[in-house]
């Protein structure tokens, strides 16, 4: 007789460290969790918590022994944040924490219920139709750059999916919430467009040959699309 023991995927927050080193089967299982919010083991299906968040890291330097993430899985991530080297002050803080004797004391600062309530508040943040049209203009520009951004056409192989529009508005709402506003401003959209779009815009070989990244292309779109 086999007994199911729920593993770490049943936590509220999952950190998939160097996710591109995970085999394809593991990536596929993670994809189900992110999309369906459930885990299937044999003929049994187990729902995940309402509060379920996946964070993943990739090392862009060393690619040997990695399994590139399929575009369908990459598209499930709301944001792709680029983390650069820490500043001197930040690195000093890291050194002090990691080489000292005193372990940091960890205390809960918020409950699950608080987070779920905050999520509902974020959903109620007002988004004007002009801001929605601005979001659609940005996303459409990644798919049809020939409509006003002709020079980008040979540099973009695939544009962003409809999920980009959804996530850009959702992220902009959260950005406005964290700044104490009850409405989304175009600046909220511009602030997060790079993080939402960079992993959804696939560059061509021509762009790679010219060392042009998807981040560069998104910035050029932001510079050229009219802001309401």
Domain 8-77 has CATH 3.40.50.720: no
What is the C-alpha to C-alpha distance for residues 217 and 214, in angstroms, rounded to an integer?
Answer: 5
How do 53-56 and 13-16 pair as beta strands? parallel
- pLDDT tens for 114-164 read 999 999 999 999 999 999 999 999 999 999 887 778 888 999 999 999 999
Q: Which CATH superfamily is domain 125-224 in?
A: Magnesium chelatase subunit I, C-Terminal domain (1.10.8.80)
Q: Name the residue with tokens 């109620």.
A: 124
How do 44-47 and 53-56 pair as beta strands? unpaired
What is the C-alpha to C-alpha distance for residues 56 and 41, in angstroms, rounded to an integer?
Answer: 23
How do 44-47 and 156-158 pair as beta strands? unpaired
* Domain ranges, ordered by start, for the chain: 8-77, 125-224
pTM of the complete model: 0.85
pLDDT for the residue numbered 72 = 78
What is the C-alpha to C-alpha distance for residues 131 and 181, in angstroms, rounded to an integer?
Answer: 15
- pLDDT tens for 178-217 read 999 999 999 999 999 999 999 999 999 999 999 999 999 9
Distance of CA 50 to the CA centre of its chain: 19
8-state DSSP, 126:
B
pLDDT for the residue numbered 64 = 64
- pLDDT tens for 33-91 read 888 888 888 788 889 988 999 999 987 756 666 677 778 788 889 999 998 899 999 99
pLDDT band at 5 (very low <50, low <70, confident <90, very high): confident
pLDDT for the residue numbered 65 = 62
Q: Name the residue with tokens 């080193």.
A: 21
């Amino acid at each position: 007789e086999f007994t199911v023991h729920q593993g770490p995927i049943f936590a509220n927050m999952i950190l998939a460290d160097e996710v591109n080193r995970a085999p394809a089967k593991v990536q596929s299982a993670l994809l189900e969790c992110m999309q369906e919010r459930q885990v299937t083991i044999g003929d049994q299906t187990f729902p995940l918590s309402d509060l379920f968040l996946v964070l993943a890291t990739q090392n862009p330097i060393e690619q040997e022994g990695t399994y590139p993430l399929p575009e369908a899985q990459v598209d499930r991530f709301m944001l792709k944040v680029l983390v650069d080297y820490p500043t001197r002050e930040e690195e000093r803080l890291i050194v002090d924490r990691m080489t000292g004797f005193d372990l940091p004391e960890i205390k809960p600062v918020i409950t699950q219920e608080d987070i779920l309530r905050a999520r509902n508040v974020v959903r109620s943040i007002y988004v004007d139709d002009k801001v929605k049209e601005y979001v659609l203009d940005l996303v459409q520009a990644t798919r049809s750059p020939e409509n006003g951004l002709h020079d980008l056409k040979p540099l973009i192989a695939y544009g962003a999916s409809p999920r980009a529009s959804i996530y850009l508005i959702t992220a902009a709402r959260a950005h406005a919430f964290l700044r104490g506003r009850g409405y989304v401003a175009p600046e909220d959209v511009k602030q997060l467009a790079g993080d939402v779009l960079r992993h959804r815009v696939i560059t061509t070989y021509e762009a790679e040959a010219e060392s042009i990244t998807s981040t560069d292309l998104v910035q050029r779109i932001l510079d050229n699309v009219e802001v309401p």
